[in-house]
């Protein structure tokens, strides 16, 4: 009984910490660099040696995937589920899967935009050592980025939390369709309401109608996208891969991220401790803005168009 109480206390504390991270408000702390100066400075960084690109949701908004904290970010209308809710509340995980079953197909149809392609081109030309992304949409890989660390995982892979078995999301979707005939056709979906984690709002009656599939190996319904939820640590192997990529880089270029969560901010702090310059290209404020060499406050896509032109690429 005492052990259970301690476990519950730990779960509750981790959940509350995750809620604080979700609710973090990022405000302006620095004066942006004049656009022309920012362009020249970032181009100079890339010419001096390959940079590590650290990307967030802002690089995927032009693909129709909303960000969390931008002016139209999903946090204004939707709170992501914490790992503790998903893992320890059966009703919560069922609700997630009902909503994700509907929303995932829109995420799956999303295509890379010109920022993803620009980053792939910069890597191909030797201007980037690689990309560490906080996004789970798979668009960097589709655009051709080769040296890529998906810090928070990828929605394309499903893992069983009971036995560890792995399944492709497309295969799971086929099984869910068989279990839920006519379900998708009964939902009128507004594409603008899909959240960055791939789910959508559904009424309670639709959630109750949904039937969840079990693990192919052990039958457990405790299946989870292989992504890092709020309140869940980044796997050590991914942290180590990001650190190795940083070691191979002369600088860091942050694109489309407020760095509101520590997993991304830590990379910037490590770069600064190593004396490497850092630049930020983002449409809104970020946690590292006051520490970086160049702060280009701009929509991400036109900035990368200008950067490629400046580098004659």
The secondary element (H helix, E strand) that includes residue 241 is helix 236-247
Quick one: DSSP state of residue 61?
G
Question: Is the separation of the CB atoms in 99 and 84 below 8 Å?
Answer: no
Buried/exposed code over 88-125 (b: 16+ C-beta within 10 A; e: otherwise): eeeeebbbbbbbbbbbbebbeebebbbbbbbbbbbbee
**DSSP per-residue letters across 7-31:** HHHHHHHHHHHHHHHHTPPP---SP
CA pair distance 24, 155, nearest whole angstrom: 24
Distance of CA 292 to the CA centre of its chain: 22
In terms of DSSP bridges, do strands 128-133 and 166-168 run parallel, antiparallel, or are they unpaired? unpaired
Q: 252 in helix, strand or coil? A: strand
CA pair distance 197, 74, nearest whole angstrom: 10
Question: Is the separation of the CB atoms in 118 and 221 below 8 Å?
Answer: no
Q: 148 in helix, strand or coil? A: strand
* Active site (annotated) includes residue 140: no
Unique residue bearing structure tokens 């160049």: 294
Options 78, 116, 140, 152, the catalytic residue: 152
CA pair distance 93, 176, nearest whole angstrom: 15
Tokens read off for 178: 């068989």
* Residues involved in catalysis: 152
């Amino acid at each position: 009984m005492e052990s259970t109480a301690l476990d519950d206390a730990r779960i509750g504390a981790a959940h509350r910490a995750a809620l604080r991270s979700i609710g973090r408000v990022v405000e302006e702390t620095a004066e942006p660099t004049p656009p022309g100066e920012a362009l020249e400075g970032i181009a100079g960084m890339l010419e001096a040696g390959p940079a590590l690109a650290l990307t967030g949701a802002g690089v995927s908004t032009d693909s129709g995937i909303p960000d969390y904290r931008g002016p139209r970010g999903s946090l204004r209308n939707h709170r992501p589920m914490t790992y503790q809710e998903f893992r320890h509340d059966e009703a919560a995980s069922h609700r997630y899967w009902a909503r994700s079953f509907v929303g995932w197909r829109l995420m799956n149809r999303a295509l890379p935009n010109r920022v993803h392609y620009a980053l792939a081109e910069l890597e191909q030309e030797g201007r980037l050592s690689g990309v560490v992304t906080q996004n789970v949409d798979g668009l960097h890989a589709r655009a051709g980025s080769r040296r890529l660390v998906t810090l928070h995982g990828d929605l394309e892979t499903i893992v069983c939390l009971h036995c560890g078995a792995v399944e492709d999301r497309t295969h799971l979707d086929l099984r869910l369709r068989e279990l839920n005939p006519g379900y998708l056709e009964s939902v009128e979906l507004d594409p603008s309401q899909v959240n960055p984690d791939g789910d959508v709002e559904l009424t309670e009656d639709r959630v109750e109608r949904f039937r969840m599939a079990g693990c192919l190996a052990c039958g457990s319904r405790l299946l989870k996208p292989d992504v890092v939820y709020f309140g869940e640590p980044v796997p050590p192997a991914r942290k180590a891969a990001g650190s190795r990529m940083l070691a191979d880089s002369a600088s860091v270029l942050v694109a489309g991220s407020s760095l509101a969560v520590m997993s991304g901010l830590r990379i910037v702090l490590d770069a600064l401790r190593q004396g490497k310059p850092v630049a930020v290209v983002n449409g809104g404020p970020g946690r590292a803005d006051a520490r970086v060499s160049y702060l280009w406050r701009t929509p991400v896509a036109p900035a990368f168009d200008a950067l490629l032109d400046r580098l004659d690429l």
